[in-house]
Amino acid sequence: MSAAPTELRLRRAEKLLEVSFPDGARFSLPAEYLRVESPSAEVQGHGPGQRKWVAGRRHVGIIRLEPVGHYAVRLIFDDLHDSGIYSWAYLRQLGEEQAERWAAYEAELAARGLSRDPPPRR
């Protein structure tokens, strides 16, 4: 189990969650990245190969954070997604793997003909 962060700072205007850990590791995680990597079953599925690729979230923000015991935080996004519980270990993993995960996400969107931009309003 990963150590709890020493600080979680939501920067709404910048659409970032800053996470600091006791060993000095610090990560600035964009809301869009956190949304598309949500640990929820809605995104990850219920088993191997069931992951859903979430497109159109370039402008998503985080409304609030809710503590979940002493091991995680629930992020409430302004697209009303709220079912992901981000453990301290998962937040750290997202920070450490951000470059690789983001590149894979963008490549998968391109391969599927999807965009980070929301669909145009009618």
Asked if residues 36 and 105 have their Cβ atoms less than 8 Å apart, the reply is yes
Quote the Cα angle for 74-23-32, to 5°: 35
Calculate the CA dihedral of residues 83, 24, 1, 71 and round it to 10 degrees. -40
pLDDT in tens, 87-97: 999 999 999 99
Q: How far apart are CA 88 and CA 93, in angstroms?
A: 9
Structure tokens belonging to residue 35:
């949304």
Q: At what angle do helices 88-96 and 98-112 cross, to 10 degrees?
A: 80
Phi, psi of 65 (to 5 degrees): -115, 140
Q: pTM of this prediction?
A: 0.93
**Could you read off the pLDDT of 50-74 as tens digits, one per residue?**
888 889 999 999 999 999 999 999 9
